[in-house]
């Protein structure tokens, strides 16, 4: 992997592939660049893809204290490496980070793609506890990484407890444990947007074409949140992907790539 140095001295590792306009992939919680490798490969047929490890993950380093602004600076450093402007694709909580970056970085981001930002704006599913970030940090400080992942899975993702023992037996659980200290980062990015209240009307100022994509089979709260966000952003549209759910980045990368290509060039991806 190649590396760049962010504004605060943090090393950000990334893979670059393909040709064409630049697009940066922003991963979700408990994920690194490996989770988007197949999506990056599909997109590289049309774009120069920058698939990076967010700070504290994979081959990227971290800082002693976390702030969302530092992650935005990481994206800004990647944009500079890409030539000064880029498309941005974010999934789940990474979509919210991409949204924050678009607000701060203005015309450095020329097109925004958000896959299933996990806002909770009604009572269709339990809200995330108000002390969620504090509790995650406590578990990490106590060295209870597996418990932190379990807490994230149950409280943030809403996965029933009866499924968690089966998930712990999968090798991917150990990978998530290695990233557990960054789960609170995504909790800070989400802020109050998972509290069951309407989205804030003054948090995001995004004036670039924005596509908010939701899997047809995803839970209703994803759809309601996406529709609400689309109403807040002046150049946003809501798009449903037939047959998909929250796992599309890994399970259906060709479908996501096709959606991105169609939004930009209005042609079918083959």
**155: nearest Cα among 134, 141, 172:** 134
Same domain, 93 and 204: yes
Please compute the mean of the pLDDT values over residues 250-262 and round it to a whole number. Answer: 95
Check whether 269 has a pLDDT greater than 60. no
Structural domain boundaries, residue 19: 2-120+198-265
270: confidence class by pLDDT, cuts 50, 70, 90 = very low
Q: Give residue 76's pLDDT.
A: 98
Residue 13: both structure tokens together: 């590792």
List the CATH number of the domain containing 71: 3.40.50.1820
Residue ranges of the alpha helices (H) in the chain? 37-43, 68-81, 93-105, 132-141, 145-151, 161-168, 172-178, 183-190, 220-232, 248-251, 253-265
Percent of the chain, pLDDT > 70?
98
Q: What is the pLDDT of residues 97-146, one digit of tens each?
A: 999 999 999 999 999 999 999 999 999 999 999 999 999 999 999 999 99
Residue 270 domain-assigned (yes or no): no
Element (H, E) at 197: none
CA 223 from centroid of its chain's CA atoms: 17
Same domain, 180 and 236: no
Q: Give residue 65's pLDDT.
A: 95
Q: How many domains does the chain have?
A: 2
Check whether 268 has a pLDDT greater than 70. no
Same domain, 227 and 95: yes
Same domain, 136 and 234: no
- Number of Cα atoms under 13 Å in the Cβ half of residue 237: 10
Same domain, 96 and 147: no
Q: What is the pLDDT of residues 174-224, one digit of tens each?
A: 999 999 999 999 999 999 999 999 999 999 999 999 999 999 999 999 999
Residue 11: both structure tokens together: 């090393």
Rounded Cα distance between 213 and 196, Å, is: 21
Check whether 5 has a pLDDT greater than 70. yes
* Mean pLDDT for the chain overall: 95
CA 4 from centroid of its chain's CA atoms: 20
pTM of the model: 0.96
Same domain, 93 and 206: yes
Rounded Cα distance between 172 and 31, Å, is: 10
């Amino acid at each position: 992997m190649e590396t760049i140095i962010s504004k605060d001295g943090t090393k950000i590792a990334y893979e670059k592939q393909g040709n064409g306009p630049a697009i940066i992939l922003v991963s979700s919680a408990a994920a690194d660049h490996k989770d988007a490798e197949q999506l990056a490969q599909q997109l590289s047929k049309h774009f120069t893809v920058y698939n990076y490890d967010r700070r504290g993950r994979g081959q990227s380093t971290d800082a002693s204290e976390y702030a969302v602004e530092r992650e935005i600076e990481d994206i800004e450093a990647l944009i500079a490496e890409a030539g000064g402007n880029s498309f941005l694709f974010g999934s789940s909580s990474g979509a919210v980070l991409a949204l924050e970056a678009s607000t701060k970085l203005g015309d450095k981001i020329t097109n925004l793609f958000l896959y299933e930002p996990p806002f909770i704006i009604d009572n269709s599913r339990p809200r995330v506890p108000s002390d969620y970030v504090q509790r995650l940090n406590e578990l990490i400080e106590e060295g209870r990484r597996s418990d932190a992942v379990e807490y994230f899975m149950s409280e943030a993702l809403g996965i029933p407890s009866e499924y968690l023992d089966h998930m712990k037996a999968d090798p991917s659980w150990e990978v998530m444990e290695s990233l557990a200290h960054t789960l609170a980062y995504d909790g800070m990015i989400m802020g109050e947007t998972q509290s069951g209240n309407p989205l804030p009307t003054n948090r995001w100022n995004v004036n670039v074409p924005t596509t908010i994509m939701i899997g047809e089979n995803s839970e209703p709260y994803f759809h309601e949140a996406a529709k609400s966000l689309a109403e807040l952003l002046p150049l946003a549209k809501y798009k449903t992907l037939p047959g998909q759910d929250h796992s599309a980045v890994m399970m259906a990368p060709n479908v996501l790539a096709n959606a991105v290509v169609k939004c930009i060039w209005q042609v079918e991806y083959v």
